[in-house]
Structure 1
Amino acid sequence: MILITGANGKTGRAVIKALLSKGERIRALVRRTEQIEDIKSLGEMEVVTGDMLDQKAVNEALVGIRAVYHICSAMNPDEVQIGQIIIQAARLAEVEHFVFHSVIHPVIQEMPHHQKKLMVEELLVNSDIPYTIIQPGVFMQNILESWKMLSEKGIFQQKYFTTQETRICMIDLEDLAEAAAIILTHPGHTWASYELSGPENLSLSDMLAAMEHHFGHEIKVETPQDEMFAAQLKKRGSGDYQINTILKMFQHYNEHGSIGNSNVLTWILGRKPNDFSSFIHRTLRL
């Protein structure tokens, strides 16, 4: 049986669907009981509830588990402590394979969430548990947060790009989930760290060209100021740590971009990863 932590997020749900398509037995760990029915709508699986800061609850979630795919919620200030707890539980349960969902370029320490993920990577490497560390780039699906305005008004709201030089290597979440399922169900992937990126290092003009091709009209760009963006995040319930971390992330992207290479993902999938244009085309057909 495979345990997925952070199971009700978009990444957890995608990985679960990919594993279920392979006939794998899944245990999903969610935080609240009201999330159980929603996650069960994905298919047949066991669902347990618990706070990942609760060692006892995490220990119980790991009982009888062969492999773990560990996802911590985005920009979580307690990520390192959560990592310590679940690694301890995995050691106690004698888990055969621990896959950690990290981030591309965790060595970039000016982004606090990268710093925390690198610390968890170190804990895992030193744990003696057979591991795989997955370091994915920015998800193409992140633009879906502004999809309503994009599809209804032709406006792309974004914070990634402020100059023509900025380039971002995005990965389709469906490709990430397929790769994760392969890593969890095929031998030969332990004791490895994989940087997973899509096939393009995209500029804003590249993204707009793909959008305009599939939408059939001009797309305008809006880049909210930090103060307005922070207020929107606060309204959605984000705390100060999350807001400050997200702003630092976008500042870094604007100054340096986030460049990646798709060779590793291509090797794992056995095919070329999906490009941004195919993602837009697929999303419009949904």
Structure 2
Amino acid sequence: MILVTGANGKTGQAIIRNLLSKGEKVRAFVHKAEHIQALKSLGVQEALAGDMMDQAAVNEAFKGIRAAYHICSAVNPDEVQIGQIAINAARSAQIEHFVYHSVLHSVLQDLPHHQKKLMVEEIVVNAGIPYTIIQPAILMQNILEGWKLLSGEGIFEQRFFTSKETRICMVDLEDLAEAASIILTKPGHTGATYELCGPENLSLADMLAAFKQNFGREVKAQTTPDELWAAQLKKHGVGDYQINTLLTMFHHYNEHGFAGNLNVLTWILGRRPNNFASFIQRTMQSKR
């Protein structure tokens, strides 16, 4: 059986679906019991709820499993402690394979969430357990949060591009999930750190061209000022750490870009990863 932590998020659910499609048995670990039924409906054999900061609860989740894919919630200020607790549980349970979901270019130490993920990577490497570290690029699926505005009014609400020179690497979550399931179920991946990137380093012009190609009309980019954007998040209960961390990330990516290389993902998948235009086309078809 394979454990997926942080299983209720879009990444966890995508990996679970891919594992189930391969006939694997999956145990899901989530923070809230109210999410269990939705995961059961996906087909997971077991689902547990608990606090990732509770060593006893995490130990229970790791009991009797073969491998684990560990995802911490996005920009979590406790990610290092959570990672240590998960690794403690993996070591205690003597699992065969621990896969950690990190971030592309975790070496960027001026970004708080990159810094924390690099610290967890160090704990993983030093833990004396069979491991793989996954470093994914930005998910293409992140744009779906503004899909209604994009598809309905032709406005692309974005925060990554403030200059024509900025280029960002994005990866299709479906490709990431397929790669994760291969890594979890096929031999030969322990001890590796993999950068998982899509086939393009996209400029804003590239993305707008892909929208025009699929929507058949011009799309305009729009960026909400930082202060207004932060105020909107605060209204939804997002904390200062998360907001400041995300703003720091946006500013860094705007200034330096966030580029990657497709070779590793191509090798793992045995095919070229999906590009952004094909992702938009697939999304439009699924929403008809």
TM range (shorter): over 0.9
Which residue of the partner structure matches residue 91 of structure 2? 91
Superposition pairs of residues 143-162 of structure 1, within 5 angstroms: 143-162=143-162
For residue 237 of structure 1, report the CA deviation from its aligned partner: 1.8
SS at match of 1:20: helix
Which residue of the partner structure matches residue 121 of structure 1? 121
Distance in 1 (CA, whole Å) between partners of 2:254 and 2:91 is 40
For residue 34 of structure 1, report the CA deviation from its aligned partner: 0.6
Give the fraction of aligned pairs with identical amino acids, expressed as a percent. Answer: 70
Which residue of the partner structure matches residue 7 of structure 2? 7
Which residue of the partner structure matches residue 104 of structure 1? 104
Q: Which amino acid aligns with 1:103?
A: V
For residue 236 of structure 1, report the CA deviation from its aligned partner: 2.1
Which runs of 5 or more residues in structure 2 are unaligned?
A: none
Which residue of the partner structure matches residue 223 of structure 1? 223
Which residue of the partner structure matches residue 59 of structure 1? 59
Distance in 2 (CA, whole Å) between partners of 1:279 and 1:232 is 28
For residue 40 of structure 1, report the CA deviation from its aligned partner: 1.5
Aligned residues: 286
Distance in 2 (CA, whole Å) between partners of 1:146 and 1:155 is 9
Identify the range of structure 1 (191-200 vs 42-51) with the bigger mean alpha-carbon deviation: 42-51
Which residue of the partner structure matches residue 166 of structure 2? 166
Which residue of the partner structure matches residue 206 of structure 1? 206
Superposition pairs of residues 72-83 of structure 1, within 5 angstroms: 72-83=72-83
For residue 44 of structure 1, report the CA deviation from its aligned partner: 3.8
For residue 38 of structure 1, report the CA deviation from its aligned partner: 1.2
Superposition pairs of residues 44-55 of structure 1, within 5 angstroms: 44-55=44-55
State the TM-score, normalizing by the size of structure 1.
Answer: 0.99
Distance in 1 (CA, whole Å) between partners of 2:113 and 2:258 is 15
Which residue of the partner structure matches residue 19 of structure 1? 19
For residue 39 of structure 1, report the CA deviation from its aligned partner: 1.5
The answer to whether the Cα contact below 8 Å between 2:28 and 2:44 also exists between their aligned partners in 1 is no
Which residue of the partner structure matches residue 256 of structure 1? 256
Which residue of the partner structure matches residue 184 of structure 2? 184
For residue 175 of structure 1, report the CA deviation from its aligned partner: 0.1
1:175-198 Cα shifts (integer Å, max 9, x gaps): 000000000000000000000100
Distance in 2 (CA, whole Å) between partners of 1:108 and 1:178 is 27
Q: Which amino acid aligns with 1:79?
A: E
Q: Which amino acid aligns with 1:269?
A: L
Which residue of the partner structure matches residue 41 of structure 1? 41
Distance in 2 (CA, whole Å) between partners of 1:205 and 1:233 is 27
For residue 221 of structure 1, report the CA deviation from its aligned partner: 0.9
Aligned-CA RMSD value: 0.6
Distance in 2 (CA, whole Å) between partners of 1:44 and 1:105 is 32
Which residue of the partner structure matches residue 283 of structure 1? 283
Which residue of the partner structure matches residue 30 of structure 2? 30
Q: Which amino acid aligns with 1:48?
A: L
Distance in 2 (CA, whole Å) between partners of 1:237 and 1:282 is 32
Runs of 4+ in 1 over 6 A off after TM superposition: none
Which runs of 5 or more residues in structure 1 are unaligned?
A: none
SS at match of 2:193: strand
Q: Which amino acid aligns with 2:219?
A: I
Distance in 2 (CA, whole Å) between partners of 1:237 and 1:171 is 28
Distance in 2 (CA, whole Å) between partners of 1:160 and 1:235 is 22
SS at match of 1:4: strand
The answer to whether the Cα contact below 8 Å between 2:27 and 2:44 also exists between their aligned partners in 1 is no
